[in-house]
Amino acid sequence: DNFYRCKKVIDSLRMYAGVDDESDEEEDADKAVERFPFAIIVDDPGGNSFIENPHAPDADPLLTSTKYFRNAAQDMALGLQPANQAVEDGTIDVNNPQHKNPVNVSAQTHRVELHVNNPKSIKEEVLKFVTPCPQCRNLDAETNMCRTN
């Protein structure tokens, strides 16, 4: 389903740029840039999007990436549990910091002190392990995971 949506967008862009299916990619890119500038905005609260870098391994000078902290509504859309306060209120107020579950906050701004004798603290533990970066393939990237309900 997503494949066909993406293909439809790509085909529309090719049509607007005046390129056909038979021409080569470099020629297409030159024609498209001459024809019209455009921007694609991807808002991905899950952080799993990937835009191919035509200049790899160098940085793409035309790509702007902005990282942000998800709000409680975005957490819910990803299947992450809201804070108990939001459950009690029966609604999620993105402007109410008490509705943001502390487990879903970045490890840089929220650290949980574990107490082995307290099983509740294990739910808030952040597991960290080294994985290759999906964009630059740097082997020093770090993945953070935590248990969710």
Among 12-16, 74-78, 99-103, where is mean pLDDT lowest? 99-103
Q: Which residue has the higher pLDDT, 147 or 66?
A: 66
pLDDT at 136 over 70: yes
How far is 28 from 147, CA to CA, in rounded Å? 46
Helices (DSSP H) in 67-146: which residue ranges? 72-77, 84-89, 119-122
Q: Which residue has the higher pLDDT, 21 or 106?
A: 21
Q: Nearest Cα to 68, choosing from 101, 41, 46?
A: 46
Structure confidence at residue 56 (pLDDT): 82
100, burial (CB in 10 Å: exposed 0-12, middle 13-18, buried 19+): buried
Domain ranges of the chain: 39-146
Structure confidence at residue 112 (pLDDT): 45
| Confidence band for 111, pLDDT divided at 50, 70 and 90 | very low
142 in helix, strand or coil? strand
